[in-house]
Chain A
Amino acid sequence: MMQFMLLFSRQGKLRLQKWYVPLSDKEKKKITRELVQTVLARKPKMCSFLEWRDLKVVYKRYASLYFCCAVENQDNELITLEIIHRYVELLDKYFGSVCELDIIFNFEKAYFILDEFLLGGEAQETSKKNVLKAIEQADLLQENVDFQTRLFAAPT
């Protein structure tokens, strides 16, 4: 299973963090700092995998963002690269040519999409279409309720 996924910029600013193992805030911060440093120090010609503590870290850079996943030893690194790619494709479809700013300003949406694609560190849906459909429906549900509230609530 995937133990955690981190998205960070070239300057090391965290844009998204999803943890599938229970760790204290302090430990999470320490891990994040260490890993960000390690990945940012890698040269472009190096391979996308590195051994870190007792896990395998798979990372890929898309434009200005690094997508970094830590998987366990029995997991397949190459398919993890595909998982990262699939997530980027989902974001791209949802936001329309996604860029880092989209993820900064709509971080909660990025999380919602991730939570429709992965659950407990494993992929729950392998069809792009189905993930996007579910998000669409959930967004509609959100809007409908909001719309109703706005129509009928007393102005403040």
Chain B
Amino acid sequence: MPAPIRLRELIRTIRTARTQAEEREMIQKECAAIRSSFREEDNTYRCRNVAKLLYMHMLGYPAHFGQLECLKLIASQKFTDKRIGYLGAMLLLDERQDVHLLMTNCIKNDLNHSTQYVQGLALCTLGCMGSSEMCRDLAGEVEKLLKTSNSYLRKKAALCAVHVIRKVPELMEMFLPATKNLLSEKNHGVLHTSVVLLTEMCERSPDMLAHFRKNEKLVPQLVRILKNLIMSGYSPEHDVSGISDPFLQVRILRLLRILGKSDDDSSEAMNDILAQVATNTETSKNVGNAILYETVLTIMDIKSESGLRVLAINILGRFLLNNDKNIRYVALTSLLKTVQTDHNAVQRHRSTIVDCLKDLDVSIKRRAMELSFALVNGNNVRGMMKELLYFLDSCDPEFKADCASGVFLAAEKYAPSKRWHIDTVMRVLTTAGSYVRDDSVPNLIQLITNSVEMHAYTVQRLYKALLDDISQQPLVQVASWCIGEYGDLLLSGQCEEEEPIQVTEDEVLDVLEGLLASNLSTPVTRGYSLTAIMKLSTRFSSVNRIKKVVSVYGSSIDVELQQRAVEYNALFKKYDHMRPALLERMPIMEKTATNGPSEIVQTNGEAEPSAVEAKHPPPVAQPANQANDLLDLLGGNDVVPVIQTSMPTKPASAGGELLDLLGDLSLSGPAPAPSVPSSQPPFLLDGLSSQPLFNDIAPAGIPPMIAYNKNGLKIDFTFERANPNPNVAVITIHATNSTESEMTEFVFQAAVPKTFQLQLLSPSSNVVPALNQGSVTQVIRVLNPQKQQLRMRIKLTYTHKGSPVQDLSEVNNFPPQSWQ
């Protein structure tokens, strides 16, 4: 049999193929030749054949028949064979293959080979793709090599150990002795990999972390090494654009971050070096900025002094002005992380951030938008909104929904006047009307209802907007609703805020009928229009025209419209005396959240009787300790992080929703904000008065409680303590549905006051079956280091019988054992 063709030859040949078919033919031919060569157990050319196979594999062709051959190559004594064999193993064999385990013995032998390059191959392969079983078998060998004086092997062994720990965390302990003097090495490779190993250990185990902090005095060692890197002169071997070993510097900074987090002593020990790095690092090239970036992240995460934090934010501010878009991107991401804790410092860079809204890069624009919303406050709301509305006008469709929601939220919280609020809402509806979320329509309607003095102005503006454009459904829906309610104000020309328009009844009815007939209107919109027309029958005088319209739609194909029309017809015919009362002006609506606490007390099976009484006392002046509770609950801008690991809520709005959930607790918000404070005192008193009832602390077993029970949806909380950490309460929610139709797209969200930390794990499903046939469970972990009374605000969204339902509720009847 002639010698198989060389690798380069094959590559050249395949590249001459002009079509996919031609290439496939060549490959098949060569594969056949390789297969027969394998069958003949040809040792000389096995290496060459496997190399060719690997090339074909990269092109996308199957190469599984070469797996065993790789093993034979690894077992060979020739270095060339081993090199290709290990490469083949890494490419073709992963831990899912049965053949994988057969490698273990070969690797074990090679780990003890006399040639370091062979040992290196084995370490590399084990460290890249070793399975858990292999790692268990060979951990001892790796540990041995970690202690060798050969730095070439030591550095590889360190990273191999990292892989072993990732695969089999229980083995971490056995590597501890070997880490003793890793950092006293001079070799940078060993230093770098050692820092990676120590980082992995500290991240995985709080005990290790404590050990390294106290016993090993890791921080001073790292500070010393970092100092040497910065202060020492030029070292050609490790220099990158004037900076000595940036890779090592960055890893050290990262390890310092972990060591300094929540630890005063460690943080203090590293303050100086962080300041030094932050001020002395050259910023003209990417390398320097990479180090500064890591430094900033570390400063923000540890307990650094305020001067250092300001320095860090200023570095980020400088980054924002950098020409390099990568740097700008990184700055925006970091600022987003720090805006909650260092709000004022970030505010100083507001104008630069707003400028980034005009950047060409999509990722930068998104970051800038999120950050801008986080920076809006009472003082800058007018200016910021102008910029954000301009952004809304010109941005890509993918941003519009989130931007619109953000604008609504910010407007709700910080609107300086009702007129401004309504104008802003109008602006959003007219520019991005088709992108606003569905639940914004009812929210806006409620807002408009509550701004009594603005009714005339609002309806006028909405009417004018309708004349321009009827394609944006949310706008059309809000507009028709308003015209239905306030049509009389439209006619009377009473507007104070701007020039009143002159319009006749017929013109208005023309517009509304146009909406009904238009192809652009969705069925929901049509429903709104029909109802609006009906309402006008008590406000306008052209009742006959309205009667005609209503009767026409009595035979509409759309069932919803037909039903409405028939009922309205009946109203005209048989119940005309009731019509004025039924179609009266809507009263001011209360926001649903304020109904929360009283609902829970009524339905909670374990309701404390005194808690019920606590609901009723009038809002008297608060004693001092209640004021403290108040400040405590005033989340305001300090959003409590809720890490929801499951459902697809959009990330940009998730933060917004949290603000929404906690925003109602803010008593110092501006007057027009819809969160009505009158319900706050009962809530606070409730919390205080429920305490005396549970003086005797039950020994074990925290009783479950009903957290929510409304409209057929019942949510129970059951408790258990997380064993390693007594500050963590593990709550399991069970949601059941007693109605006859199931609840789909069920999403449970929760927020807690800022002294707590909350983590939501994935729910069991998002469909709550009907008639209590099953339940949705989800685990919540609450960290309560200050042992404060646990309270929670929950938000439920689901779809029931085809329509979306949303409810906010407060849970404050937690048994004391759950938080003491």
- Is B a genuine binding partner of A? yes
Interface residues, chain A, with chain B CB atoms under 8 Å away: 14-17, 19-20, 22-24, 29, 43, 45-51, 74, 76-79, 81-83, 86, 104-105, 107-108, 111-112, 115-116, 119-120, 122-130, 134, 137-138, 141-142, 145-146, 149, 153, 156
Contact flag A134-B290 (CB < 8 Å), given A78-B326, A126-B189: no
Report how far A50 CA is from B162 CA in the complex, Å.
27
Given contacts A81-B326, A108-B54, contact A138 B83 (CB under 8 A): yes
How long is the Cα–Cα vector from A47 to B59 in the complex, in angstroms?
A: 29
**Nearest-neighbor residue (CB-CB) of A83 within chain B:** B247
Chain B neighbourhood of A141, CB < 8 A: 79, 115, 117
Could you tell me if B361 and A79 are in contact, using CB atoms closer than 8 angstroms? no
Measured between C-beta atoms, what is the minimum distance from B724 to chain A in Å? Answer: 23
Total interface residues on B, using CB and 8 Å? 71
Identify whether the interface residues of B are mostly helix, strand, loop, or mixed.
Answer: helix
Question: Which residues on A sit within 8 Å (CB–CB) of B96?
Answer: 22, 24
B290 and A51 within 8 A (CB): no
- The chain B residues found within 8 Å of chain A, CB to CB, are 3, 7-8, 11-12, 15, 44, 51, 54-55, 58-60, 78-80, 83-84, 87, 91, 94-96, 115, 117, 120, 123-124, 127-129, 131, 152, 155-156, 159-160, 162-163, 188-189, 192-193, 196, 237-238, 240, 245-248, 250, 254, 286-287, 289-290, 293-294, 297, 325-330, 360-364
Q: Decide: A122 and B58 in contact? CB cutoff 8 A.
A: no
Q: With contacts A125-B155, A126-B245 known, is A46 near B362, CB below 8 A?
A: yes
In the complex, the answer to whether B193 meets A105 with C-beta atoms within 8 Å is no
B360 and A46 within 8 A (CB): yes
B193 pairs with A47, CB closer than 8 A: no
Residues of B within 8 A of A129 (CB): 237
Establish whether residues B192 and A76, one from each chain, have CB atoms under 8 Å apart when the complex forms.
Answer: no
| Chain A residues within an 8 Å CB radius of B248 | 126
Do B286 and A122 touch (CB < 8 A)?
no
Selected contact of B124 from candidates A29, A115, A145, CB within 8 Å: A115
Which residues from A are CB-within-8-Å of B87?
108, 111-112, 115
Contact of A78 among B54, B193, B289 (CB under 8 A): B289
A selection of 17 A-B contacts at a CB cut-off of 8 Å is A46-B325, A46-B360, A47-B328, A76-B294, A78-B290, A81-B290, A82-B247, A107-B54, A108-B51, A111-B87, A119-B127, A120-B128, A126-B192, A127-B237, A127-B238, A138-B79, A149-B78
A77 touches B326 (CB 8 A): yes
The 8 A-B pairs with the shortest beta carbon distances in the complex, nearest first, are: A78-B290, A125-B189, A120-B127, A47-B325, A79-B290, A119-B159, A120-B163, A126-B247
Assembly CA distance A51 to B333 (angstroms): 12
Residue of A nearest to B62 (CB): A25
Given A49-B363, A79-B247, A107-B58: A122 touches B290 (CB 8 Å cut-off) = no
Q: How far is the CB of B234 from chain A (nearest CB, A)?
A: 14
Which residues of A sit under 8 angstroms from B361, Cβ to Cβ? 45-47
Pick the contact of A82: B115, B124, B286 (CB < 8 A).
B286
Among residues of A, the one whose C-beta sits closest to the C-beta of B55 is A107
**How far is A103 from B11 in the complex, measured between Cα atoms in Å?**
12
Query: A124–B58 contact, CB under 8 A?
Result: no
Note all chain A residues with C-beta closer than 8 A to B237: 127-130
Q: Is B363 in contact with A50, judged by CB distance below 8 angstroms? A: yes
How far does the Cβ of B256 sit from chain A's closest Cβ, in whole Å?
13
**CA A45 – CA B12 in complex, angstroms?**
35
Q: Which of A14, A23, A47, A81 contacts B58 (CB 8 A)?
A: A14
Give the Cβ gap from A124 to chain B, nearest Cβ, in Å.
5
Q: How far is the CB of A76 from chain B (nearest CB, A)?
A: 5
Within the complex, the shortest CB–CB distance from B172 to chain A, in Å, comes to 15
Question: Cβ of A17: which chain B residues have Cβ within 8 Å of it?
Answer: 58, 91
Closest chain B CB from A34 CB (angstroms): 15
Residue contact A146 to B363, C-beta cutoff 8 Å: no
Cα–Cα distance between A23 and B97 once the two chains are bound (Å) = 11
Known contacts A119-B123, A119-B128, A126-B247; is-contact A76 B238 (Cβ 8 Å) = no
Report chain B residues within 8 Å CB of A111: 87
Chain A residue numbers with a CB within 8 Å of B290 are 76, 78-79, 81-82
What is the CA–CA distance of A129 and B120 in the complex, to the nearest angstrom? 17
Question: Does the CB pair B254–A76 fall under 8 Å?
Answer: yes
Q: In the complex, what residue of chain B is closest to A48 when comparing beta carbons?
A: B326
Answer whether A122 and B80 are a contact pair too, CB < 8 Å, given A22-B129, A141-B117: no
